[in-house]
Chain A
Amino acid sequence: MPIDVLLVDDSSVTRRAQRRMLDITGIPTARVDEASDGLEALARMRDHRYDVVLCDLHMPNMGGIAVLAAVRSDEVYRNPVVIFVSSDHSETRRQRLLAGGAAAFVRKPLDPERLREVLTETVPAVREAL
């Protein structure tokens, strides 16, 4: 079954690049939506159940840490797999986010091969779809 994906990043270039990379991975998608900050992401998650959220860490208005905390504490967000994609290299923060319920933390720049790998590892619906 095709998956539904939410791309969360304040960079329009990054969102477009990730959308293109998803196409290249060959992973079937039914719906790919975008949000430019955490607040918009949470609003979208309240309205729709996504299989996976690719989320930046540092964003205006609401960053990725607050998004993860909200998603893991309130079922209204429908419990998607959350994967961080960030330029942040802090190993301490990476470990804390993984302990807090993130499925993976991938450093930018992302490439299609790495994206396919991490989605296959972390999203049950992807394994079922392939």
Chain B
Amino acid sequence: MSAPDAEDALRRTAYEILEDGMFLFLEEAALQPDDEAVVATMRVDGGYCATVGMLASPDVARALASNMLGIEEADVSAPDRAAAVAEALNILCGRLLAHLVGEEAELTLHPPVLGGGPDGAQVAFAVEGGQLALWHVPCHA
């Protein structure tokens, strides 16, 4: 799996899940430093081993939580934002793996954990007045 292939899969996954499924409109952009961002990572192993991560600035995390929970953005709490980013990563990761390794492999998707940082193949987007990034690091990298 080359980095460009992984980036293409990340990009495709982001558009399918976030834009088509969650109505967040994405525009590719360079990732900017963001100390307030919510970051989550999750590990995959089994027939394929990798770490997949997601960063969302606070406004994007709030929009994700509002979308998932069906509540006003003003009513979204900080724990809601963190949980929404973790669950969005979980959903994205499943689709990403289908693109990367197909739908035959039985993989173990470990629960997302908060923290970590962008690494490996990555894509970043401007969205909802903030930014969102996804990355993928194969275990052998």
Contact = CB atoms under 8 A, between A and B. Distances in A.
B84 A92 contact: no
Among A57, A59, A90, A91, chain B packs the most CB atoms within 10 A around the CB of A90
A10 B87 CA distance: 9
Contacts of A107: 94
Contact of B95 (A59, A89, A90, A92): A89
B36 interface: no
Given A16-B69, A58-B110, A90 B105 contact: yes
Nearest to B103: A91
A13 B91 contact: no
Given A10-B111, A11-B86, A109-B91, A17 B106 contact: no
Contact of A11 (B87, B94, B95, B107): B87
A120 interface: no
A88 B105 contact: no
Interface in B45-100: 65, 68-70, 79-80, 83-84, 86-87, 90-91, 93-95, 97-98
Interface size class of chain B, counting residues whose CB lies under 8 Å from the partner chain: 20 to 34
Contacts of A25: none
Contacts, number: 65
Contacts of A16: 69
Contact of B17 (A57, A59, A91, A109): A109
A79 interface: no
A91 B104 contact: yes
A100 interface: no
B109 A13 contact: no
Among B83, B84, B90, B104, chain A packs the most CB atoms within 10 A around the CB of B90
Nearest to B17: A109
B39 to A, nearest CB: 16
Contact of B94 (A60, A86, A91): A86
Contacts of B90: 11, 87, 108
Interface in A42-96: 57-60, 86-93
A11 B79 CA distance: 11
A20 interface: yes
Q: What 9 A-B pairs have minimum CB-CB distances, sorted nearest first?
A: A87-B94, A89-B98, A13-B83, A91-B103, A11-B87, A58-B109, A108-B91, A87-B91, A93-B106
